[in-house]
Amino acid sequence: MSVPIAIQLDAVQALGEELAALATELSGDADLCGSTAVSLATAAPGEVSEQAGATGQLWAVLVADLVAGAQAASVALLGAVLSYRLADAALSDRLLAARTAPPMGTR
């Protein structure tokens, strides 16, 4: 059995836009993390620098994955809002046309 749900399209759209902005902001951080990882790996000879560089590189991957997830969620939310609004407008147009059409059989 399906259960009806209600959503606020403006709020969902705002969330999608916020996620898009977050992804844009974090993409620069991912680049910075990657370059910092190289600096950490070469800062001093030895195992500590190697491990710091590896940790920095993994952090850059984590941030890049976060960017991809935020972008994907943003696209999905904004696409859903657009689809719903287009379907709602089409239904509204059909209802309006049905109300203003002359009754069948009269001409």
- Classify residue 104 by burial, with Cβ atoms within 10 Å: 0-12, 13-18, 19+: exposed
- List the one residue out of 67, 65, 83, 63 whose CA is nearest residue 13: 83
Which residue type, as a one-letter code, is found at position 46? Answer: G
What tens digit of pLDDT does each residue of 44-78 get?
788 988 898 899 999 999 999 999 999 999 999 99
State residue 76's pLDDT score.
Answer: 98
Domain ranges of the chain: 11-99
Rounded Cα gap, residues 56 and 35, in angstroms: 9
pTM for the whole thing?
0.77
State residue 72's pLDDT score.
Answer: 99
Other CB atoms closer than 10 Å to residue 56's CB: what's the count?
Answer: 19
Mean pLDDT of 25-31: 90
